[in-house]
Structure 1
């Protein structure tokens, strides 16, 4: 069979050519040269911190020497588990990717030390993970969702020389801007009596009261994941509910998704976006907890920024505007790879 026909067939199978040479299914699932293969791609990576040495959990899926995506989950203190939906899209397109639970999250060590709740320390942790996994500018894409988007921005500002591409998923570059959007746009969408009761509970710091979460259910179903909570995907319930480490989440984010009030409250890197030179995709959604217009503005401030707008999505758009989310993400990954290969 002619070489170009083989390439065409493989291109149909993998979406596009993702390897330096023509890929095969065996290539993608190869165990060669991967020290994690004997345990299904899982590694516990040693991490040095000011509070001592610990280990974080990672899991590799697939094998692609040119496109390797490290996933930074939300929270802080949530897990990689909501990303498990990536299994339905990335392998078929030949993309290699890494699940990763940050320190303090469920599958990694969970030291109880406030000194570790620091953005710069988390950035240093990501860099240690990158080194251990052998990722670099020829193949390393970083995707951060929500809090992971904060971490991805900070990582790029410090270590972009190691990046091939960056994805900021459903996160604005300013917590004050997020809080303004929550106060001016999101809160008024709640029923007036519910908002009044929420403000009363908030003033009393009565966050353990079951009513606090009950009153927020309409907000969650409209702006976090647009399905009734009884139908939320099982990986989301594990990652954001059952396995959430509140000793990390509450001090950094605050007790509620209706705005931030923790250690991150003054975080703002909008003016620094111009310094991120690598190709960057910003993903926003119509019903997101984050202002989609603000995310569009971010993409224009980034020297190589692009914007993916999801008209049916919310904060977890990889579930509620799924096909558009992954079509846009995969298009970006391959376009950057093609440009680098051609350059």
Structure 2
């Protein structure tokens, strides 16, 4: 009996030692670019993409080295940029998490063809798959983290290519555009001062989206409550830069001219994958926030609908929780990545 106990203890010590050795190797090599083909550019790659109308290039930048955790960041918009994720620089390197900034086709740092045939969910999914292959990621290390529109893209990618994923993170995005519109109209809108809400709806009925007063009302009463909960003059420079670099052609075609729901003839207005979530089997983290433009209760439901889901609630956050509730956001995301990587992930 004593011999068996000693054998078990020896095995545990051996496993612990191997784990610590692996972790030390990752930490020591995290910033070593010497064996990579993108050392010359500091991690930047312009990746060729095949589309139905020809070849283009998209911009990526890899930060760090970790053979078992590689997180591709899918930005929002559509038509925004990777700059919305620059706060990750303050958290992921300390944890030796490899992450990849990526501007989707049509976004500022990538090629920007002017052809609406390109702006479909299906084509963007194939673009992500081509990026994955070019970066050499696979199911042993590949995660996607999609925020807002990027969350739509992450869900659509998982629904087709989850065999290539190690984990999925859906940040601040519901699984249904009609449900999102209903939440904006029935819940968030009435919380505004009535005179303000009436003015906003009048501008939208008249399609007067370029009126400075319309933008002023949204920023003052809506954006600082539900997009990023800080006074506008305190918004991070990276967010201001991302909005400055927005491609309005892609944004309006897919999302519509307003941030107050998916409006007009936007191509995403009827998007809904609620009945398909149950087919997602990979470990999935769904992130919702108390003040988000998206209903956090819907996101909590999503985390239970997928087969291996976990819900992360940001009590101080809004749509850009990676900025206005960093304490909860990054703690939850990092814990999810660690749990999946170690094989200790539990849904809940």
TM-score range, shorter chain: over 0.9
Per-residue deviation, 1:26: 3.7
For residues 154-205 of structure 1, what are the alpha-carbon distances to aligned partners after superposition, in whole Å with 9 as ceiling and x for unaligned? 0000000000000000000000000000001111122211222212211111
For residues 79-98 of structure 1, what are the alpha-carbon distances to aligned partners after superposition, in whole Å with 9 as ceiling and x for unaligned? 00010100000000010000
Alignment of 1:1-343 (within 5 A): 20=22, 22-23=24-25, 25-217=27-219, 218-239=221-242, 241-261=243-263, 262-339=266-343
Task: State the alpha-carbon separation in 1 of the partners of residues 159 and 34 from structure 2.
Answer: 34
Task: State the alpha-carbon separation in 1 of the partners of residues 124 and 228 from structure 2.
Answer: 26
Partner of 2:6: none
For residues 225-267 of structure 1, what are the alpha-carbon distances to aligned partners after superposition, in whole Å with 9 as ceiling and x for unaligned? 000111111101111x200000000110011111002110000
Task: State the alpha-carbon separation in 2 of the partners of residues 221 and 23 from structure 1.
Answer: 43
Q: Structure 1 residues 229 and 49, CA, compared in 2 at 3 Å: closer, same or farther?
A: same
Per-residue deviation, 1:330: 0.4
* Unmatched runs of 5 consecutive residues or more in structure 2: 1-11
Task: State the alpha-carbon separation in 2 of the partners of residues 268 and 24 from structure 1.
Answer: 40
SS at structure 1 position matched to 2:139: coil
Task: State the alpha-carbon separation in 2 of the partners of residues 197 and 289 from structure 1.
Answer: 19
Task: State the alpha-carbon separation in 1 of the partners of residues 311 and 26 from structure 2.
Answer: 32
Task: State the alpha-carbon separation in 2 of the partners of residues 62 and 277 from structure 1.
Answer: 28
Task: State the alpha-carbon separation in 2 of the partners of residues 231 and 257 from structure 1.
Answer: 20
Per-residue deviation, 1:289: 0.4
Partner of 1:13: none
Per-residue deviation, 1:22: 2.6
SS at structure 2 position matched to 1:22: helix
Task: State the alpha-carbon separation in 1 of the partners of residues 153 and 343 from structure 2.
Answer: 26
Task: State the alpha-carbon separation in 2 of the partners of residues 189 and 36 from structure 1.
Answer: 49
Contact in 1 for aligned 2:26/2:96 (Cα 8 Å)? no
Task: State the alpha-carbon separation in 1 of the partners of residues 332 and 312 from structure 2.
Answer: 7
SS at structure 1 position matched to 2:58: strand
TM, length-normalised to structure 1:
0.93
Contact in 1 for aligned 2:26/2:65 (Cα 8 Å)? no
SS at structure 2 position matched to 1:23: helix
Per-residue deviation, 1:113: 0.1
TM, length-normalised to structure 2:
0.91
Task: State the alpha-carbon separation in 2 of the partners of residues 94 and 31 from structure 1.
Answer: 14
SS at structure 2 position matched to 1:143: strand
Task: State the alpha-carbon separation in 1 of the partners of residues 305 and 195 from structure 2.
Answer: 40
For residues 256-294 of structure 1, what are the alpha-carbon distances to aligned partners after superposition, in whole Å with 9 as ceiling and x for unaligned? 111002110000001100001000000000000000000
Q: Number of paired residues?
A: 330
Dislocated runs of 4+, deviation >4 Å: none
Contact in 1 for aligned 2:184/2:260 (Cα 8 Å)? yes
Q: Which has the larger radius of gyration?
A: 2
SS at structure 1 position matched to 2:343: helix
